[in-house]
Structure formats: C-alpha cells, structure tokens
Amino acid sequence: MADPKRPRVVGFNHVALEVGDIEEALAFYGRLFEFTLRGKSATMAFIDLGDQFIALQKGRRQAPDDGRHFGLVVDDKEAARQALKDAGVTVLPGRFLDFLDPWGNRIEIVGYDNIQFTKAPNVLRGMGLAQLAKNENAKKELAEKGMAVE
C-alpha cells in the first residue's frame, strides 16, 4: 500500500517571538527597523514583512537563545549594523550579524541581495522596494533551482 501524499512545505507565514512587554518590544524594534504595525493588543503585536509578518507575544520565560535563531531579511544590512550600534545593541561574535533582543531572542540580519528567496515583483512594489536586486551568488543559487531572477 502506497504512503498517502504528504504536503510540501512552501515557506513561512510568520514567526512568533515571546517578549516581556509588547510596548517595550515595539519601542526596541522601532529603534532598529522601519516597519508597519499590522495590529496589536495587550499581549500580541503583528509587524508586517510584506507578504509575511512577525508576531510578538507577551510571556517569554525561557533562557536566552544560543544557536536557535531566525534570519531577518533587510534591504540594507550595513544600515542595520549601524542601527544596532546606535541603539547600543551588542552584535554577537562570529561571521554573521547576530544579536539578542532584550528578551533573549537571537536574530540574524541578512541582506536581501544575498538570500536564496525572492519576493514577487508585486510584493516588492507594494513595499516600496522594487529596486532591490540580488548579488551574483544569490542569482546563481536561484538559477540552479530553476528560480532565476529576471
């Protein structure tokens, strides 16, 4: 008897981060990044990332992250590095641009030009980022997967 067809994972809709306080988290991330707030309550906030979002949820109780992290894609990695410095946020040692937020969530900053996914042109236009481009390495990786950037 054949195995039933399993669904294929096609991407992320959102990531949820546990934080201590919603207003403090919005203020912290607002010092680092320009973003649009989709909505909020006393225990949740939702930050748009084009066709995706980050959910901030009140109630972090675990120890700070070590290796566990997620990569947050930005339009300008060097501007993000400067924003972290200006906000007094310590960049973690290593070859990546990683930091811990005040609640221990580990985040890696990645430039859009250097990643293996691409936003649809209509999503980039809607975000006011139609001019973003990929570097040659990212273009090669996408082409090898049949996902060449035009």
Quote the pTM value: 0.83
Q: Given this model, what pLDDT does residue 150 score?
A: 60
- Beta-carbon contacts of 50 under 8 Å, excluding residues fewer than 6 positions away, are 119, 123, 124, 126, 127
Q: Given this model, what pLDDT does residue 127 score?
A: 79
Could you tell me which of 102, 111, 109, 90 has the C-alpha nearest to residue 65?
102
The pLDDT profile of the chain, 150 residues, written as one tens digit per residue, is 556 789 888 778 899 999 999 999 999 999 999 999 999 999 999 999 888 899 999 999 999 999 999 999 999 999 999 999 999 999 999 999 999 999 999 999 999 888 887 778 888 888 787 777 877 887 788 778 787 766
- CATH code reported for the domain at 14-59+68-144: 3.10.180.10
Q: Is 56 helix (H, G, I), strand (E, B) or coil?
A: strand
Q: Given this model, what pLDDT does residue 1 score?
A: 59
Q: Given this model, what pLDDT does residue 2 score?
A: 57
Read off the amino acid at residue 1. Answer: M
Tokens coding 27:
């203020």
